[in-house]
Amino acid sequence: MKESYHICFTSHDEVMFRDEEDHGVFVNLLALRVFAEQTELLADAEMSTHAHLNIFSSDPMHFASNLRLSYTRYFNRKYNRAGRLGQKYTFLLKVLGHVHQMVLDNYILRNGLHHGAAPTAFGYKYCSVRDMFVEDIGLQTEKPATWTRSEMASILPRHAEFPDEYQMNESGIFVRRSFMELRRAEQYYGSPRNFLFQMNRLTDESWQKEQLEDRTVKPITLADIELGDEKSIAQMLKNETGRYYTRARLQDLDVCRLIDNDILQTTKTVYQLTDSEKQRIGRQLFNEFHIPEHQIRRCLVL
């Protein structure tokens, strides 16, 4: 019997996605895993150091471990890295109740906003928020390209299996609407108007009150989903207003691009650099680009 779960992979000490290709490969592997294990995916969001998923599955940990393993293999091969990627344990939360489900998806779809990566939920691209109610609220849905099945297979891991209804965009990434259960996700919101309201409302006591009225589970909060300390949660709540976002601030993807494409004048990856080489690059990032130390450490794996 399939039940609803929230899954989160975390990597506190290093980024999980260094460029656009990494994000695309993760989506493709996610789509393949959904088909292989007959799992329903309702919402997803991939940040530099973690990924959130809402799935309906009969064996969520098996799904999570296989997805994580396949992505780790790709990441290690690309960057000449070895070992587990991210924290040892996968966060798993069982979801019960209609309101509980909607609140969970709210947190997932607003992840880019909470982490200051976008001024609104819709401003963050590595997420399924832009695929919800696209026809009703006037969003431009991602258009599939005219790939043949053999062309699609050539992009994917060897012997990958996928159904005929899966479609890819021009970049060779599976279009979310072809493999996700977005219609089911939309049903929890009831209407496009309520969806827009949920994406733009501020977190307050009414969120918990609405969950209590559902009488099924203990209310979930942002702290339950993000597992951060009080200071980081407080900043996420501030970010909800959109007032603290600035385009001038470099995101982890931007910093990794600086390191991998502009600063490194070698075929080495950050995982092949010596400590002294990393320290030199770190000083350059700090002095020339004013990158915060914690971000430098994360992107240089210091």
With a cut of 70, say whether residue 15 has pLDDT above it: yes
List all residues 6 or more positions away from 297 whose beta carbon is below 8 Å from its beta carbon.
13, 282
pLDDT over 90 percentage in the chain? 75
Query: Tell me: the pLDDT tens digits for 134-181?
Result: 989 887 778 899 999 999 999 999 999 999 999 999 999 999 999 999
Query: Tell me: the pLDDT tens digits for 172-213?
Result: 999 999 999 999 999 999 999 999 999 999 887 777 777 777
With a cut of 80, say whether residue 230 has pLDDT above it: no
End position of a domain, from candidates 239, 261, 288: 239
End position of a domain, from candidates 212, 239, 266: 239
Quote the tokens at residue 155.
């992009």
* Number of domains observed in the structure of the chain: 2
Residue 244 lies in a domain: no
258 and 131, same structural domain? no
Residue 245 lies in a domain: no
Instruction: Give me the torsion for CA of 191, 98, 176, 61, rounded to 10°.
Output: 170
CATH number for 74: 3.30.70.1290
212 and 139, same structural domain? yes
- The β-bridge relationship of strands 91-95 and 40-46 is unpaired
The one-character DSSP state at 262 is I
Residue 92, number of CB atoms within 10 A of its CB: 12
169 and 34, same structural domain? yes
- The interaxial angle of helices 98-109 and 192-200, nearest 10 deg, is 60
Task: Say what the pLDDT of residue 270 is.
Answer: 96
* Cα angle 29, 30, 31; round to 5: 90
Query: Tell me: the pLDDT tens digits for 252-289?
Result: 999 999 999 999 978 889 999 999 999 999 999 999 99
198 and 116, same structural domain? yes
Query: Tell me: the pLDDT tens digits for 110-123?
Result: 999 999 999 999 99
75 and 206, same structural domain? yes
Domain extent at residue 270: 252-300
Task: Say what the pLDDT of residue 139 is.
Answer: 79
46 and 154, same structural domain? yes
161 and 290, same structural domain? no
Task: Say what the pLDDT of residue 98 is.
Answer: 84
How many residues comprise the chain? 302
pTM above 0.75, yes or no: yes
Residue 210 lies in a domain: yes
